[in-house]
Structure 1
Amino acid sequence: MVPHLITALSGPINELEQRVLESMPAIERWFRLEWMEHTPPFYCSVDIRNAGFKLSPVDTNLFPGGWNHLTQEMLPLAVQAAMAAIEKICPEAKNLLIIPENDTRNTFYLSNIAQLQRIFHMAGLNVRVGSIDPDVKESTRIDIPGGDTLCLEPVVRSKYRLGLKDFDPCTILLNNDLSAGAPGILEDLHEQYLLPPLHAGWTVRRKSRHFQSYEEVAKRFGKMLGIDPWLINPMYSRCGELDLDQPQGLECLTTQVDGLLTRIRKKYKEYGINEKPFVVVKADNGSHGRGILTVRDVRDLAQLERKARGKPGVAGALQGRETIIQEGVLTNERMHEAVAEPVVYMMDRYVVGGFYRVHAERGVDENLSGPGAGYVPLAFAESTRLPQPGQKPGASAPNRFYMYGVIARVALLAASYELESTDPEAETYE
C-alpha cells in the first residue's frame, strides 16, 4: 500500500523522518501542552505533498468531505475520536444533526454524509441529516453508491433553535463550507453547539490567514526539532481582489509571483535542488478546486489577462477574487504508476485515517483534486499510533505515515490558532 517514492532527493525527507522518530516523546508532549491551551477544530483534513526534499501541507479543510474513502478498519479510531470530541463539548448529548452541502445530486458526496452518520451513531448518538436547501420541503430517501439510502429531511427553525420535526439536537455538525455565505437560519442559535462555528466557513475564512498561523506554528515546531521550518512550510504571499479588466489588474499578482519565485530559487540553491520552482495561484477562500493556476515564469501571467477577456476557465474563476500565491510543492509519490498525494483525516486532536488522492492524467506539479481523481486508503488504522523507531528511514510504512500524521497535526494546530484569531466573540486587547 505504500507508494513507490520516485525521487533522487529523498535525503532531507529521510533525515526529517529520522528526526521526527527520535523526537517522538518531545513531539507528543509538545502537542499535549498545546492542546491544553488551544481547542482543535472539531474535524479536519489536510492535503500533504512530499517532494522528497520538502514535506508540506498545501490545503487544510475544516469541513472535510470524503469520509466514505476511509476503510472499515479505520472506523474504530474515528468512533473513539468522535466520542472524545462530543464528550468535551456536550457530555449529555443525545441527538446530533448533520447539515450537508445543498447539492443532493452528488451521490458520492452523500456517501460521505452516510459515513459520518455511521460514525456518530456508533459513538452513541441519534443522528439525522437535515438540509438547509429551501428546495428540500419533505423527507426524501436518496439511493447512494453501495446499495445504501440516505434520508434527507428539511430543517425546522424555531426562535432560538434548529432541528427537524420531532427532533431537537444538542449539537449540529456542519459539513457545508458556507462558500455561498452563512444563511440566517444558522445564526443566533441558543444552547446548541454549531460545529465548526460559522466563522470557519469561507464567508470569513482565508487560506492566507491559515498559512500565516501555520508559519508561526511551523517555526516553533522546527525550533524544537532543530530543523529549517521551510522543510515543512510552503511560503506564500497574497493579493487583494484581482481585476483582470483593468490595465493594472495584474500588477500586484505579477509583483508577488516574481518575489515568491525569487525566494524559492534562493532556497533551492541553498539545498542544491535542481527542480524548476513554481507557484500556485488560487482564490484565497474556497474554490472547490476550481481556478487554480500553476506559474513557473512571471511572463506566463500575460496569458491570464488575455484569457480573462472571455472569462473562460481559470481566468474567469479568479476574476474578482482575493488571491493567495503559494509556493508550489511537487509530489514525488506514485500509486499504480499514477501521481499521488496523501490526505490525512483528523477528528478532535486525533489522526483517524486517510487516503492517497491519485490522478493518472496529472503531473507532479499539478492539482490532483478534480475529475478523474481516484482514492486509495492509507494504512493509518494500524500505523498512525505505532511507528517503529530504529528502522532505516524510508523503509517503514508506519514511520512514513506517522510523519504524515505529525505534519497534519501541525496544520490542525495552526487551524486552531486561525479560528481563535477570527472568533467574533473572542476578547481582543489593544
Structure 2
Amino acid sequence: MRVLVVPFPWKAHVFNLVPLAWSLRTAGHEVRVACWPDLLEAVTSAGLTAVPVGPGETAQVRTQRDRRQSSDRAAAARRAPQQGLEALFDPRAGRERLGWEQVRRVVEDLVLPQARRSNDSMMEDLIAAARAWRPDLVLWGAKAFAGAVAAEAVGAAHARVLYSVDVYTRMREDFLNARAGRPPGQRPDALRDWLEGWAGRFGVEFSEDLVGGQFTIAPLPGAFRPDARADTLPVQFVPYNGPAVVPGWLAAAPAAPRVLMTFGDSVDDAQARLPLPVERLQQILRAVADVEMELVLALPPDARREVGQVPANTRLVDSVPLAEVLPTCAAVVHHGGTWSFGCALRHGVPQLLISRAFDAPLKFACLQASGAGLAMTPDQADGPAVRAALLRLLGDPALRANAAALGKEMLAMPSPNDLAHTLQDLAAARRAGPVPAGR
C-alpha cells in the first residue's frame, strides 16, 4: 500500500514518525513524507522520500511573526495557559470536565492559532500531492490536521500519531461536553468552523475524524494514556535522534553515578531553547557541585559559552545521542521534550522534568502518579530544589524500581514492525473512494 506521512512542522515531530515510517518501508510499502521545505533535510537524511508542501520560510520565523501580530488576548493566554485548567491535567478516572468559558478560551486563544499557523499554508499543496499520489493510508502527527483533510479528500484511511500525553483529545471532549449544555445559538465551535471551511473546499464533509483521526497511535505506556480512546493503538517508543556520533568518553564506565541534564534536542539544533535563565543554571551547578555523580550537561553552543566554568563533577557537552547515553545513566534532568521523556521511559531511568510546555502539567501528573520521577516548573527550579530532587532520584530505590517497571512495560508494547501489519489491515478496512474534487 501507499502511506503518506504528515508531520507537524517541527524537526522533533519528524523524528517521532521516522521509526514507524521505516517499519512500513521494510514491510514492503511505499512511504512518502509531506513536510515544509525547511524539513526536507531532516526527512531525506533519515533515508525517507520527502514531498515539499507549504511555505519556504522556517517554522521558527513564521511562529515568531505570528506571535508579534497576535492579539493581546492570545498573548495573555500564552502567558498563563494553565490558569483554571486543573481538571484538564488531572490523570484520574472520573475527573471533572472543564467548563465552557475555560475550554473555549483554550481552543480559541491557543489551539486554533497554532493549528492555523502550522496547517493553513500547507493545506492546498498537501491535498494536491495526495490527489496526485493517491495514498491508501495517511499518518498525521498530532496537530497536523491538514493530514486528516487530505486523507478524507482521497478516501484514504488515516490515523493521528501522538508524540506525548493526549491532552488534545481531553480538550476536545471537554469542549463538546460543555457546548452541548449551551443554549441554541450560543454554541460556537471555532475549531470545527476552521476545519469545515477547508474541508468543504475539497468536497469533504466535517466529522470528528478531522480532529482526532479515525484511530490514534500512542507511543507511551498505559500510565501516560489516561482515558484513552477505545480505538487507540499502543506502540513502543523507538528513539530516532537524527545523525549522531557516540562520543569517546562514553566507552569508559563512569566513576560515579551518571546523570544527564539536557534542555534541548539530543542533537545540536537551532530550535533548542532553555527553560531556565543561564544564571539559574549556574546556581544549580553550584548547588550540586558536591554531589557524588558525573553530571553530563548538554547545552546548545550559545548557552554553553554563557555558562562558562563548571564544577569538577560536570562534563559540559554540546550534544549527546540520548539512546546511547541514557542506558548508562542513573537519572536524567530535562525539559520534558518528546525524546528525552520517551528515551528515559524506555530505558527505565528516573527523571526530573523542568518544563513550561502546555502539556507539561498532565505529563507531570502521570509521571508522579507512576512513582517513576519528579517534576517542577522552571520557576520552582532553583539550586536547593534541584539538588533535593537529584538526591532523591539517586537515592530512592522505589523511584528506580518504578522507572525500571515502566521500561519493561514499554518494551512489551507492540513494536513499530508489529504495528505495520495492523495498519495494513486497518487501512484495507477503512479505505473509501475519493470524494469529488470540489473547488
| Both proteins in one fold, TM over 0.5 | no
Q: Which has the higher contact order (CA 8 A, sep 6+)?
A: 1
Q: For this structure pair, what is the TM-score category when the shorter chain's length is used for normalisation?
A: under 0.3
TM-score, scaled to structure 1: 0.26
Q: By percentage of residues, which structure has more strand?
A: 1
Q: By percentage of residues, which structure has more helix?
A: 2
TM-score, scaled to structure 2: 0.25
